[in-house]
Each structure stands twice: as structure tokens, then as C-alpha cells.
A = this chain, B = another copy of it.
Amino acid sequence: MDQGSFPPLIRVAICGGTHGNEMSGVYMVREMQRQKLDQAGSVSITAVLSNPRAVDACRRYIDRDLNRCFTDALLSTPITDSTPYELIRARELNTQLGPKGSPEAVDILCDLHNTTANMGLCLIFYSLDWISLHIYKYIQSKMTSEPVRAIQLDIPLSEAYSLESVGKHGFAIEVGPQPNGVLRADIFNIVKEAVDLTIEWIQGFNSGNTFEGGEVEAYTLVKSVDYPRDPSTNEMTAAIHPQLQDKDFQLLQLGDPVFLSFSGETVKHEGEELYPFFVNECAYYEKKIAFHLARKITLTFPSISVKKD
């Protein structure tokens, strides 16, 4: 594979509070704003509290999930008096950090999230982005306290719905387990280390370092699984089985327990062997998702360095 070269990565946005009850990002952004941390060597940093109203209410969102509002279609819908708050806020963020897909967009957008699932630290990104893959590889090689994984969503940019899609390059950092509305120092420190390593890598890149290509493992979504429900009331009749709870990214084999009903029966995994993730994520109850299932893939990427003028 050839070597790639990219223009320097000057403008970086670190966003938190896109979901108002995911506290690591909220406090990380506030701390960066308090320290007026807006320049790190060659890198100009903007720390953005994405959904301030939801943060004030300590809720995921006010009217609708902000992190599903960044498709081209939603960003171009006319605004009226009845437009949900998050669609208006998405437009503001797209003006400040984008416009999405344009030369004016920030070079890197990193959006900080938490999950109640035991997922450790995950980088989530769309399609194949070599910059994001190099940052992932760098964080993984430097961080020893926590497993570091990558999740790749195979969605074209125009349909990409989440905030990180507004940057020229972008990824979400997802860390758990942490309850919504709670700030844990151990999780905060993991997020802080990941942000620091991201900025460190960008500085190294801008200063002319060549980063070797290679291979990394990533997980790619195959399907989502809902909770068992009572057919008449549609209410859940089972919880995640204790043997699956907290076992994100551990291969689920035929016959492994996945649900435990409230009356004590075990429901077992059927079909293909896949990797569960977002197991018992709080915000996915309303989306009718008990867990996602992924396939493990290998991503290959070239050496890269900064493009000389």
C-alpha cells in the first residue's frame, strides 16, 4: 500500500455533552474551557459543550437525540417555530464546526461519550478514515490501563448522523461503564488520557513524523437484538443474563445465555457466533436494543505523513 500524505491538521474540536447526561465529556469540556486550553503547539483547539440545554436538565436530549441530527437531509430541513431544539442546535454546530463536507470544516472532530455498557474505551468512526485509524493505533499502543477497541460504522458521509461527521476527520470516543448522570474519576481519567494522546499524535503528525501503516482489528455492526417482550403489552419480560452482563466484546457462541426472564427462564443465543457490544446500554431501552452484535474485521492502512507545501 502506498504512503498517504495529508495537509496539516490545525483545527481540532473536542466536543462533550452531545448527550447531556454523559458526564465525562461534560466535565472534560468544562475543564478545558476553564483552563482556556485553546492552543497546543501547532494545534488550535475548540472545546464545545454540544447540547447545553440537555446538560442543564441532565438528560440525554430535550426534544430528540442530537447525535442523530447531522445527516445532510436534516441539516438542510427548513427551520420553523416547531422545529425541535436539537435540530436548531445541530445547525448551529454545523455552522461553528463545519459546514459538513466543506473545506471550512474543522480538521478533526472528536466527540466524547459514555455508555453504561462495560465497553472500556472505543473509538467509533465511519467508513475508512486513515487519520482516525492512525490515532486509534496510537492510543491503543500508549494506553495500558484499559482495553482500546474500534467500531466501524459503514455509512456514507451524507447519511452519517452523528456530530463527528461534521469534521473533515472525526470519531467518537465511547467509554464505559459509567451510569448516566454520574461522573467517575477513573472513567474521567481514561477520557482525559485519550484526548491528550489524540492531541499528542496530531502534533507529531504536523511536525513531520511519518507514522507507519499496518493492520488493526475493528468491530463492525451486523445486527441489533431487542429484549424479549410480552406480545400483548409489548413490555420487557427479561433482563440481560448475568452471564452476558458486562461481557461486551466476548464472543457469543451458540447456546450461550443472553436473557434471564423475570420468572427465571434462560434464553440462549442462536445463530452465528458474533461479538456483543453496547450490552444493556441505558439509552437503547427506548430504541428497543438490548445489545448489538458485531463481526471482527481487520483494517489495513498505509503509512502517512504531513503534505509538504
CB distance from A196 to the nearest CB of B (A): 12
- Do A182 and B27 touch across chains, with their CB atoms under 8 A apart? no
Considering only residues 229-283 of chain A, those with a C-beta below 8 Å from chain B are 230, 235-236, 239-242, 245, 260, 262-263, 280, 282-283
CB distance from A80 to the nearest CB of B (A): 26
- Do B185 and A245 touch across chains, with their CB atoms under 8 A apart? yes
**Can you list 20 A-B pairs with a CB-CB distance of less than 8 A?**
A27-B239, A30-B235, A31-B262, A34-B230, A58-B286, A59-B59, A116-B179, A178-B179, A179-B179, A179-B182, A179-B282, A181-B283, A181-B285, A182-B280, A183-B239, A184-B242, A185-B242, A185-B245, A186-B242, A188-B239
**How far is it, in angstroms, between the C-alpha of A146 and the C-alpha of B287 when the chains are bound?**
32
CB distance from A155 to the nearest CB of B (A): 27
A282: which B residues are within 8 A, CB to CB? 179-182
Main secondary structure of the interface of A (DSSP, over half): loop
CB distance from A218 to the nearest CB of B (A): 26
- Do B262 and A27 touch across chains, with their CB atoms under 8 A apart? yes
How many protomers of this protein does the assembly include? 2
Q: How many residues on the A side are at the interface (Cβ–Cβ under 8 A)? A: 36
- Pairs of residues from A and B, 10 with the lowest C-beta to C-beta distance, nearest first: A179-B179, A185-B239, A31-B262, A181-B282, A185-B260, A116-B179, A183-B239, A182-B282, A186-B242, A185-B242
CB distance from A37 to the nearest CB of B (A): 11
The chain B residue with its CB closest to the CB of A178 is B179
**How far is it, in angstroms, between the C-alpha of A242 and the C-alpha of B189 when the chains are bound?**
10
- Do B116 and A280 touch across chains, with their CB atoms under 8 A apart? no
A179: which B residues are within 8 A, CB to CB? 116, 177-180, 182, 282
A178: which B residues are within 8 A, CB to CB? 179
A182: which B residues are within 8 A, CB to CB? 116, 179, 280, 282, 285
- Do A239 and B184 touch across chains, with their CB atoms under 8 A apart? yes
Considering only residues 20-48 of chain A, those with a C-beta below 8 Å from chain B are 27, 30-31, 34-35
